[in-house]
Amino acid sequence: MTNALIEDLKWRGLIYQQTDEAAIEELLNKEEVKIYCGADPTADSLHIGHLLPFLTLRRFQNAGHRPVVLVGGGTGMIGDPSGKSEERVLQTEEQVEQNVLGIQRQMEMLFDFDKENGPILVNNKDWLSQISLIEFLRDYGKHVGVNYMLGKDSIQSRLEHGISYTEFTYTILQAIDFGYLNREYNCKMQIGGSDQWGNITTGIELMRRMYGTNDAYGFTIPLVTKADGKKFGKSESGAVWLDSEKTSPYEFYQFWINTSDDDVIKFLKYFTFLSKEEIAELETSVETEPHLRKAQQALAENVTALIHGQEALEEAQRISEALFKGDLKALSTKEIKAGFKDVPQVILSNKTTNIVEALVETKISSSKRQAREDVQNGAIYINGERETDLAYELSEADKYDNAFTIVRRGKKKYFMVNYQ
């Protein structure tokens, strides 16, 4: 018997590998399943590369199952070799603990904790730290063959360049997690990115050998790729974080709004909870009226609201609209800073007030002659206002927070002028 959730996941392209497709569908049809996904606290925030497995876990919650969300305070002390070409730099215990707190807070954005089937939030440090070295070797290591581990892609890919015993044993630690959650919470499924297949199957194999458990399953989600071959999750300024202090809601919104027509429908299926009918309508819009970018707007609105909330979404849209129209007066100082975070920063002496001299000193214009031409031709804007007077003097009124001025040259070249 087919399962509506699995059918939806297939339609969205969210299933890459399954340990037993028929058994998984049967299990989901007959009971509320506890299913887990984990993240190691390598930083104090997740980035959008982490989103897809957890959003998939949220789909299970929406379908009536119960998520178990694991933050790896224990495994984060070691480091997962999966998908890495070299050894991780170990973090201090204090760093890991701070990172755990940051990620746990973000899980409250991704899941509905108020529902009856609200997530169970766990930290594997609580049980892994209780295992002695002797117990680890006797009770767990004895059941995992070296040849079996060498067959795992995550380990095999590292053998040529070297892998420490520390990272070599990581897959056993994650296997212990699955066994612990199975026994303590009756958790029967694990999901993860495609690079987690080896860790997931090791957990199932360890449970089979240690406890005779056969009622445990796993599946993985495909790696998110872009049509142009570039890595997903990176902007010009680096990783796109869920933490608003690392990536502002405006930058976050802009990342999604800039999605290409080739990727936008796939990303709507992956990252939003829009229905088949809604996505089909947006797909038609991409084909017949791509200039309206309705699909990109829907993607940016849905993901930004999910992660940052409706108020932050509206602020991001307000900044975007004002910058598109060049209407900086419509923005607060905070919004100006968010909108111009990545534009070139230049320094101007407080003593320099004439517009021509200021353009030359900051190298916005290449010479005095060029600066005069730029001003006279109407190519220079001070805080969104065109300035054509060669005698114009910059004043305190032109400074936001008494600290900076936004200068635009031509249609798109913005500069943040800081004073000293």
Confidence of residue 85 (pLDDT cuts 50, 70, 90): low
| Binding annotation for ATP | 234
Query: In terms of DSSP bridges, do strands 380-382 and 404-409 run parallel, antiparallel, or are they unpaired?
Result: antiparallel
pLDDT value of residue 84: 66
Check pLDDT > 90 for residue 345: no
Mean pLDDT value across residues 279-303? 96
Which numeric CATH code is attached to 4-220?
Answer: 3.40.50.620
Q: Residue 338's pLDDT is what?
A: 78
Q: Of residues 163 and 304, which shows the higher confidence score?
A: 304
Average pLDDT (317-344) is 80
| pLDDT for residue 186 | 96
Task: Provide mean pLDDT across the span 295-319.
Answer: 94
In which band, very low, low, confident or very high, does the pLDDT at 236 lie, cut at 50, 70 and 90?
low
Higher-pLDDT residue of 352, 267: 267
Full-model pTM: 0.84
Q: What percent of the chain has pLDDT over 70?
A: 97
Instruction: Look at residue 1 in the predicted model and tell me its pLDDT.
Output: 65
Helix axes 51-62, 261-271, angle to 10 degrees: 50
Mean pLDDT of the chain: 90
Tell whether the model's pLDDT for residue 235 goes beyond 70. Answer: no
Mean pLDDT in residue range 365-394:
91
12 vs 35, 65, 200, 279, 291, CA distance in Å? 19, 19, 22, 10, 25
Give the per-residue pLDDT at 21: 93
Q: Which residues participate in the annotated binding site for L-tyrosine?
A: 36, 170, 174
Q: Categorize the per-residue pLDDT at 68 as very low, low, confident or very high, splitting at 50, 70 and 90.
A: very high
State the pLDDT at residue 86: 67
Q: What is the predicted pLDDT for the residue at 320?
A: 86
Whether 19 shows a pLDDT value over 90: the answer reads yes
pLDDT tens-place string over residues 33-55: 999 999 999 899 999 999 999 99
CA angle centred on 55, ends 269 and 268, rounded to 5°? 20
CA distance 41 to 7: 32
Has residue 80 got a pLDDT over 80?
no
pLDDT of res. 36: 96
Q: Considering only 201-210, 213-222, 284-293, 331-340, which range has the smallest mean pLDDT?
A: 331-340
DSSP 290: G
- 24's CB contacts (< 8 A; 6+ apart) are 6, 18, 189, 217, 219
Residue 112 has pLDDT above 90, yes or no: no
* Overall average pLDDT of the 247-264 stretch: 93
Alpha-carbon distance of 247 to 270, in angstroms, equals 21
Structural tokens at position 28? 């989901």
For 55-69, what is the mean pLDDT? Answer: 96
Q: What percent of the chain has pLDDT over 90?
A: 60
At residue 324, the pLDDT reads 78
pLDDT number for residue 83: 62
d(CA 226, CA 223): 10
CATH architecture entry for 234-340: Orthogonal Bundle (1.10)
CATH, range 345-419: 3.10.290.10
C-alpha span between 159 and 386 (Å, rounded): 61
Summarize the confidence of residues 316-332 as an average pLDDT. 80
pLDDT in tens, 158-194: 777 777 888 888 889 999 999 999 999 999 999 999 9
Q: Do domains 4-220 and 234-340 have the same CATH topology?
A: no
Segments making up each domain of the chain, as ranges: 4-220, 234-340, 345-419
Looking at residue 281, its pLDDT comes to 97
Average the pLDDT over 1-25 and give the result. 93
Question: Residues marked as binding?
Answer: 36, 170, 174, 234
Most confident of 62-71, 103-112, 143-152, 232-241: 62-71
- CA–CA separation, 265 vs 274, rounded Å? 11
